[in-house]
């Protein structure tokens, strides 16, 4: 659908639920694949323009595949997070059939930066960086503390199921992967068992999905992989070396220490962090990203997305192999 067509449909929709609106402008597609799109646009309003984001699956792409929570669930989760004081964009509207825009939702646009290299290196974020790890702990405590009764229907995951899924994917690759098999073996041998605490898990809490300003984290984005599970999963995932973008001695996103993340989490939740579980999920997460890189290569080779970028991401799976060896078989 062209930008003008989307803009016209957005204007028609916004005028119904946002009184005083006279139209929309500057509709531009930001990213996403064939099944999910993100658009930025401005709502023209007498009180001043309102920056907005549309996240949608176009008509005909309604069903969320595999691991995705679905856009309807994402909208509910973002609203719940926002209401609970978790930095999160306000949901303005959930798409209805009459909108003719497919399924999805419209939310407030939050100003900030998501590009890791800028966040980790630019002067603009120098004041924020030392605070980020602790803040991430506090935010995760808030997400994990959302009342289970209010949550939408979500997939339930645990480590054992995740290991089975990874095994199936790795065995399905054509080529042999001794280091991935070593990691799978370690995971099976060291699985701490089902978590006593089962909470909402964001599922993709890392650079790219954190809107960051000079004052710190402004919004948690992309709840697509949200599920119910072991809350320590989120703490392990943000410590995966792939998300440190070269600043490898600061395990939390390249900006902070484990202790800062953990103390922020414990202060905000009153619940002790299970450090061994976090380490376990860091290993799973490292392997998970390695498997995703190989998946990109397969999609490049077999699928419609024959892009150079995808092909090159396939060549990043070896990064996770060296990280797995550093975690599981460190040299003296």
Q: Which residues of the chain form contacts with another protein (CB under 8 A)? A: 175-182, 184-185, 241, 244, 246-248, 308-309, 311-312, 315-316, 318-319, 321-323, 325-326, 328-329, 331
CB-based contact 215:128 (threshold 8 Å): yes
Which residue, 223 or 280, is less far from another protein as judged by CB?
280
Kindly report the number of other CB atoms within 10 A of residue 18's CB atom.
Answer: 16
In whole angstroms, the minimum distance from the beta carbon of 286 to another protein comes to 11
* C-alpha distance across the termini of the chain, in Å: 57
CB-based contact 218:112 (threshold 8 Å): yes
Query: Look-up: residue for tokens 């150079």?
Result: 308
Distances (CA, A) of 271 to 82, 98, 162, 264: 22, 45, 24, 11
Please give the Cα distance from 266 to 247 (Å, whole number).
25
In whole angstroms, the minimum distance from the beta carbon of 42 to another protein comes to 22
DSSP annotation of 148: G
In whole angstroms, the minimum distance from the beta carbon of 174 to another protein comes to 9
Which residue, 153 or 318, is less far from another protein as judged by CB?
318
In whole angstroms, the minimum distance from the beta carbon of 212 to another protein comes to 21
Closest CA relative to residue 212, chosen from 309, 102, 302, 87: 87
In whole angstroms, the minimum distance from the beta carbon of 182 to another protein comes to 5
Please give the Cα distance from 51 to 41 (Å, whole number).
6
In whole angstroms, the minimum distance from the beta carbon of 44 to another protein comes to 27
Which residue, 272 or 332, is less far from another protein as judged by CB?
332
Instruction: Taking each helix axis as running N to C, give the angle between helix 275-302 and helix 258-269, from 0 to 180 degrees, rounded to the nearest 10.
Output: 110
Which residue, 8 or 311, is less far from another protein as judged by CB?
311
Count of helix runs (H) and strand runs (E) in the chain: 11, 9
Closest CA relative to residue 202, chosen from 281, 104, 305, 119: 281
Which residue, 276 or 312, is less far from another protein as judged by CB?
312
Please, which residues bridge with residue 142 across strands? none
CB-based contact 277:285 (threshold 8 Å): no
Please give the Cα distance from 96 to 120 (Å, whole number).
40
In whole angstroms, the minimum distance from the beta carbon of 186 to another protein comes to 9
In whole angstroms, the minimum distance from the beta carbon of 316 to another protein comes to 7
């Amino acid at each position: 659908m062209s930008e003008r067509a989307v803009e016209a449909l957005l204007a028609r929709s916004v005028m119904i639920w946002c009184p005083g609106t006279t139209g929309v402008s500057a509709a531009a597609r930001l990213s996403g694949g064939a099944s999910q799109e993100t658009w930025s646009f401005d709502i023209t309003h007498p009180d001043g323009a309102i920056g907005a984001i549309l996240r949608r699956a176009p008509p005909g792409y309604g069903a969320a595949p595999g691991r995705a929570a679905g856009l309807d669930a994402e909208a509910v989760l973002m609203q719940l997070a926002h209401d609970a004081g978790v930095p999160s964009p306000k949901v303005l509207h959930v798409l209805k059939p009459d909108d003719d825009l497919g399924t999805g939702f419209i939310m407030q646009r939050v100003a900030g930066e998501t590009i890791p290299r800028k966040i980790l290196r630019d002067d603009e974020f120098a004041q924020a960086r030392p605070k980020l790890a602790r803040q991430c702990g506090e935010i995760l405590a808030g997400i994990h503390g959302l009342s289970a009764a209010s949550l939408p229907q979500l997939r339930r995951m645990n480590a054992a199921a995740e290991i089975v899924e990874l095994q199936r994917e790795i065995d399905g690759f054509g080529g042999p992967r001794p280091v991935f098999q070593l990691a799978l073996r370690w995971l099976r041998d060291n699985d701490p068992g089902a978590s006593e605490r089962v909470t909402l898990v964001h599922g993709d809490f890392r650079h790219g999905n954190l809107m960051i300003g000079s004052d710190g984290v402004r919004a948690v984005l992309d709840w697509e992989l949200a599920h119910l599970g072991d809350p320590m999963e989120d703490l392990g995932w943000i410590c995966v070396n792939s998300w440190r973008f070269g600043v490898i001695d600061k395990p939390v996103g390249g900006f902070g220490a484990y202790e800062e993340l953990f103390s922020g989490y414990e202060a905000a939740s009153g619940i002790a962090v299970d450090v061994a579980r976090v380490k376990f999920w860091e290993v799973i997460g490292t392997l998970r990203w390695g498997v995703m890189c190989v998946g990109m290569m397969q999609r490049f080779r077999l699928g419609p997305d024959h892009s150079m970028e995808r092909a090159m991401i396939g060549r990043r799976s070896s990064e996770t192999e060296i990280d797995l060896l550093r975690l599981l078989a460190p040299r003296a």
